Structure 1
Amino acid sequence: MALMKIKFTQKKRVKLAQGLWLMNWFSVFAGILVFSMGLFLKIELRKRSEVMDNSESHFVPNSLILMGILSCTFNGFAGKISYDSLDPTKFAKWKPFLKPYLALCFLFNTLIFLTALICFLMRGSLENTLTQGLKNGMKFYKDTDTPGRCFMKKTIDMLQIEFKCCGNKGFKDWFEIQWISNRYLDFSSKEVKDRIKSNVDGRYLVDGVPFSCCNPNSPRPCIQYQITNNSAHYSYDYQAEDLNLWDTGCKDALLRYYTNMMSSMGVVVLFVWILEVTVMIGLRLLHTALESIANPEDPECESEGWLLQQSMKETIKLMLDTLKQLGKTNQVEAGAEGGEPTPTVATVS
């Protein structure tokens, strides 16, 4: 028994073809939207590529761009088929290509669904990328005189100001690296010498943070040096008081920003996928309805359209039988090629 079997009159076939033509052009605009989202996300990721460890994060925007291009191509082609189906003469030239085209549509819809899932599942990979990238970026903060790294201070400062964050996981990350350049250290000072000697790697570490970590909403002037020293500041308790620094790490701030963006894009792609599946089903019904016209000379006669010629269970069983048959054929061919030669018997005269 055919799956989703529907009877069509001439009027219903025309309405279906016109509706599909309109839906395909909606899908073309949806494809342009998906392409634009991918391009926007790619630009946003490239803006902060200095604090990202690898290019894996660009997999999502690249997938969106590709799906957008394919969507415009497939739906533009399907729109032409739907329009030509109103004229039997024009539609006749499309008949040999419809089955392969519908198979490609099914593959495309599978890919666009996977792209939507990827938008929701890339958080873990993006988190690792940001963690390592920010860690490396903070190490180069002080290298303002080093070619290729002189921009890193500005990048990190602008990042912390824009996203209202401090450090990688928190402001204490700055305590573990030397973020002040040697150029601005007085090596004749006893305090500087003692700090460098007290560190195994000979780094100048302080319990301070860059100015960009300061929260301007705090009523108190920013305390960015000697943060853990209560006696260095009047009426100050490091453990009990809310510090006037951003308490969110930049990894969490960026991760939240990008995951929210990709989740929103994932929802849009899911809606596009539903639209694409609807168009594919409609095109299949139109194809079978036109193919099953009993008398081609009488275009006004009734016909039947279906999604699958057999039920889902029978279709799956047929596919499995076909695969098994192909497997057996391959085994026979392999045995024939790799078989031992037939031994010859020598005759004694």
Structure 2
Amino acid sequence: MMIIIVLTHPISTISLMIILFISILAHIFYYKVYIKNDTNIKKIIFIYLKFLIYLAVFAFAWWTFASGSLNTFANLLKWGLSIDYFISAPRDLLNYPYSVPLFERFFNQIGFFLFFSMSLVGFFYMISNKCDILTFSYAICGFTILALGFLPSSIGITLIEPRWWFLAQILLSIPLAATIFILINLYEPNLMRILLFTIFIISFTFMMITSNAANLDNSIFSPNTQVRFAFTESEMASVDSVSKLWKDTIRSDIYYANCSNFYYGLSIIAFDKNIYEKNFSATGPELILIRNEILYKPFWLFATTYKLNYDPEILLDDQRYSKIYDIKTVRAWCII
């Protein structure tokens, strides 16, 4: 089991290390405060600690072997876990979410925050003296993972917070279930309990699955924040065809460029800076690939979500680029 976890994803391995470490602390606290007897605690801690050490040694050995080095991890620590290590977008682009209509922001986040806020009720119940050591330890681990998703950004560092949010949702689903049962048990008639339970589950599920984090193929509810990460067949075929005909510099949006470089072994350059500065001036032959998607919908710009407020094709035309390729979903503009 340990080997499988290590081979899946580094976040899974690190999260398991954290859970094991927090479990040790939770057991110590529970035995000291609630039971007031630490007779068996040493044996339990030894088992957890042994597994944690084995996991850590195997994980770092595998990461070093698979990557060839741990330079990225070392550089991240050197940067002080700064968010700038991952995102180097201009400040005004980072403020784009604040320009999104209030209803859309509310709709995107209500399910997310309602999930965590309501799970806190179950969390406090699970850490009370009414529950056993395993329940107490589980609740503490879930809350710790949740804290990793929120606290770092408040002090100016980053730990890839969204990854911890999703893991916290898995762990805190049990405290949330406890909250639901606590609330519906406040009502005596069974019919009322069933009705409240049904209404809550349906409405809560709807809010969760229609948010832009879960709904990746429909932007009806999030027209200003929903980024389409899946490419159409014509988009992939276009970059393959154009790259075979054009041997000089090619530029496109960062997500399209990175994926094309990965799948086709190309060297397409991101034009994020050109889009931001509204300047496509070139020093030599250059081809610009414009997806129709980025003209009217949000897309990835400087590794953050953004929606254009101007038409870059008008800009290209003004700067003497010529359109040489057009299949509606993708257009190519060149200058020689």
Q: TM-score band, normalised by the shorter chain?
A: under 0.3
Q: Considering only CA atoms, is the larger Rg found in Structure 1 or Structure 2?
A: 1
> What TM-score do you get using the length of structure 1 for normalisation?
0.22
Q: TM-score, normalised by structure 2?
A: 0.23
**Greater fraction strand:** 2
For CA contacts below 8 A with separation 6 or more, give which structure has more relative contact order: 1
